[in-house]
A and B are shown apart, each in its own frame.
Chain A
Amino acid sequence: MQEQILIQSKIEKGDFTRGGEVSSSLKDILRKLGVPSDTSRRVTIVTYELEMNIIIHSLGGEITVLISSEQIKVIAEDQGPGIPDVEQAFQPGYSTADDFVRGMGFGAGMGLNNVKHYSDQLTVETGQGKKSKFIASVYF
């Protein structure tokens, strides 16, 4: 199957009231398509984090989700201002001294760290003062 667009949506900077809308509709679409539930969960999480990343950290942007026979690809592009230190942005944001919570597995990471964790492949183009582009793939 050729690559086709599943969803494409503009996202405004700071639009928290609509945060999560894209990933919610996407989850619904994936269920209608009969995408395996594990794949669907990973794609939903990746999309949600990228969506929130645009809302919280950027000047606004767009999310596009594509599907082909091999994979689902989430593309997030924003209008800047870019990430100066990519390495640091991918650090797990959530830390606690409590072993009981560390044992959570699912749910421990935050933000971009989650995007990396739940996608099979991730490329990031960014830099200080630049627009950012994330391409995250989840294979079937």
Chain B
Amino acid sequence: MKKHSVLLKEELCEGCTNCVKNCPTKAIRVHNGKAMIRDELCIDCAECIRICAYHAKHSQTAEIADVSSYKYPIALVPPSFYGQFKGLNPARVRVALYELGFKEVIDVSLAAEALSRKTSEFLASNPGIYISSSCPVVVRLIKILYPELTGHLIPFKAPTDAMGEKARKDAIAKGVAPEDIGVFLLTPCPGKNTNIFDPVGIENSPIDKTIAVTQAYQAVLAALEKTQDVAEEDLPVPYLGLGWGQSGGEVQLLHEQVQDYSLSVSGIHRVRALLNELSRNNIKGVRYFELSACEFGCVGGVFNVVNPFQARSDLRRLRAKGKTMIEQNEGYDFDLPGKFEPLQIGRLDGDLEKAMEKLTQLEEEIAVLPGLDCAACGAPDCKTLAEDIVTGVASRTDCIFLLRKQMGDLAETLSALLYELPPVMKKEKTDGKVG
């Protein structure tokens, strides 16, 4: 089964270990000169795509051409998408998407607005600290590295999922045959693509395919050329919800009282730093955390075409046009069927006692390794190599320093052997006489 959206083009990989060192979950190792991703640890954050100078990491999604493979294709447009068109009227962009063959073009911002209302109500009546579960990469990060915090993830579906479910339901209610419906998300990131085959919090994804912004961009530009502007009334824009496309936009839509006790953090490494503090209870006075894996939020997704600085400022200007949330008959189902469950990953052994033994071994290995964290072994740092040695997937000689030392020792033994003479020649020299 397909597990991830972030993949490696082997032929391009130079084995440089930049990605190895930058992966937040330490999921990458270089073996035989090629990077490889450990499936169980990868959260599809795309940091490795961002950092690879050789463009060896990539991600695949559907294309605009795939739209025609469904009789009733629906486009879900996330807020960040509108950050890609120099502040152009979002309604205008939607018209272009209709031109590309979509039967419906729906703003995820609508679900975002509805979810904001729901979140405010939830926080007012449920004590405790909550973390937004809208960024699937953050949810995966927490499940893997911060299992103790999974209970703090707010038990709601992400706007894209709730919107997808609603769009499908509404279309069926209109009489469209379920098998004709194809729900497409114009995704800014691989993380949301992974949701299709490995959704977080729900059983099955309501989304059939994602199309990366990079895949759709030129087609949309061409369609914009061909189409006319529309009147605001005809295609109302949920401006306030558009704020969700950049970090801080979610909090901005909460009730004022909740806003004062909320915090927005973006960028996977900063999110990790925040979660480290949170897991030792070292952040006081905050009840709600809006966390996005990408810097600046969804406008920072790797699939975007426009740089995140530009997109963020354009999106902010659009959002400022909003006065109130759009009236809509709700009909969303945000409640998760179950709870977010932590994943038990990274254990040394299933048995506590055996795990303790391995922990002792681990400390021994760490003591032997040089502690330079050079990554030449293919692991991100000495501690991780030690872990790989103990779990049996690497060996000490993977460390070039230990290998060098071993070779030095061997050379010494060799040269010592060199001066050992064969028995027939082993005569004691006694004044030139044969003894």
Contacts and interface: CB of A to CB of B under 8 A. Distances in A.
Contacts of B347: 31-34
B342 A23 contact: no
Interface stretch (B46-54, B172-180, B278-286, B326-334): B278-286
Given A32-B347, A33-B348, A67-B356, A41 B148 contact: yes
B287 A101 contact: yes
Interface in A32-88: 32-35, 37-38, 40-41, 44-45, 47-49, 67, 69
Nearest to B277: A20
Given A104-B129, A105-B128, A34 B148 contact: no
Interface string B307-321: 000000000000000
B352 A100 contact: no
A20 B342 contact: no
A31 B359 contact: no
Interface size range of chain A in the complex:
35 or more
B344 interface: yes
Given A32-B355, A37-B150, A104 B128 contact: yes
B435 interface: no
Nearest to B353: A1
B127 A32 contact: no
A90 B407 CA distance: 59
B127 A105 contact: yes
Given A29-B359, A34-B344, A34-B347, A44 B128 contact: no
Nearest to A33: B355
Contact of A110 (B128, B284, B362): B284
A60 B143 CA distance: 36
Interface residues of B, number: 37
A74 to B, nearest CB: 13
A31 B150 contact: no
A27 B279 contact: yes
Interface string B262-293: 00000000000000100111111111000000
B279 A41 contact: yes
A125 B250 CA distance: 48
Interface in A84-140: 94, 96, 100-101, 103-108, 110, 114
Interface of B: 124, 127-129, 145, 147-150, 152, 257-258, 261, 276, 279-287, 342, 344, 346-350, 352-353, 355-356, 359, 362, 387
Interface of A: 1, 4, 6, 20, 23-24, 27, 29, 31-35, 37-38, 40-41, 44-45, 47-49, 67, 69, 94, 96, 100-101, 103-108, 110, 114
Q: Please provide the 3 A-B residue pairs with the shortest distance between their CB atoms, ordered closest to farther.
A: A41-B148, A103-B127, A48-B280
